[in-house]
Amino acid sequence: MESIITVISEEPQLKDAILIEGLPGVGNVGKLAAEHLLDNIDAVKFATIYSKHFPPQVVLDEDCVATMVNNELYYAKNVGEGRDLVILVGEYQGMTPEGQYELSSHIIKMCTEMGVSTIYTLGGYGVGKMVEEPRVLGAVTTKSFREMLEPHGVEFTAGEPGSGIVGASGLLLGLSKLNGLDAACLMGETSGYFVDPKGAESVLKVLNSIIGLEMDMSELESKAEQVEEITSKIKDMESSQDPGRDDLGYIG
């Protein structure tokens, strides 16, 4: 079996396109942002990526029809200010370091060949406490690309995140640099303890500003309110037990 099997249902003709990655990660910020984007533009699924670097598992749809764990690629043409988009989503990242490198390398190669010239990877930046107004931090492949992003609200702070960026959001950046593509990682601040739709909204607002797109955020906002309700209940329970405690500790 090949390490990576890509099943392509349509070969889109794209020009100077943008790849947006939103795989699972810290607070699932990138995944939520990319999925909300997908739901609000006219995107077509064109490729499914299977790999022995994913868990050996099938998932079932509501009809109990099974599909092997995978990543999916969608495209949308002439979005916002006119750029074509490719969007990468999925339930899993590669399970091993080697798998991570092979999958990211495969995606860069495939997307370059179909006309992608810019990459935005979306993720969360875990700060270990609740965040009222999540900043969106950036990391880039070149200093000039950074200058293009700053007017849109991306913050670049030396030493944040101090440990660098792990997984697909990091590797797609690193491999873009090696291949001469412009790429940036947009990281929404998040506690890191919960799935975080608020962090996702922050990231998506910045991304929308960059690609000249507007969209309704009410679904993300209502999800954020639900999470906030739950976490504030837990907080109340905790403070009634231990009034001196400040942060949330690890929950779920």
Residues interacting with its own copies, by CB under 8 A? 1, 5, 7, 50, 52-60, 62-69, 94-95, 97-98, 100-102, 104-106, 137-143, 146, 156-161, 164-167, 170-171, 173-175, 177-178, 185
Q: How far apart are CA 120 and CA 22, in angstroms?
A: 9
The DSSP call for residue 104 is H
Q: How far is the CB of 112 from its own copies (least distance, A)?
A: 14
Shortest CB 77 distance to its own copies, Å? 28
> Smaller CB distance to its own copies: residue 115 or 174?
174
- Alpha carbon 102 to chain centroid distance? 18
Q: How far apart are CA 73 and CA 200, in angstroms?
A: 20
**Residue closer to its own copies (CB basis): 102 or 201:** 102
Is the bond preceding residue 161 a cis peptide, omega within 30 degrees?
yes
Tell me the closest approach of the beta carbon of residue 154 to its own copies, in angstroms. 9
- Least distance from its own copies to the Cβ atom of residue 211, Å: 20
Minimum distance of its own copies from residue 182's CB (angstroms): 12
Q: How many CB atoms lie within 10 A of CB 52?
A: 15
In the bound state with its own copies, the residue whose beta carbon lies nearer, of 73 and 79, is 73
11: number of Cβ within 10 Å: 11
Q: Which amino acid is at 15?
A: K
Q: Which is nearer to its own copies, 90 or 170 (CB)?
A: 170
Provide the minimum distance between the beta carbon of 125 and its own copies in the complex, in angstroms, as a whole number. Answer: 12
Considering beta carbons, is residue 132 or 158 the nearer one to its own copies?
A: 158
Alpha carbons 108 and 229: distance in angstroms, whole number = 40
What gap in Å lies between CA 135 and CA 124, rounded to an integer? 10
Q: Which single residue is written with the structure tokens 């810019």?
A: 118
Burial class of residue 93 in the structure, from the number of CB atoms within 10 Å of its CB (0-12 exposed, 13-18 middle, 19+ buried):
buried
Q: Which C-beta is closer to its own copies: that of 7 or that of 237?
A: 7
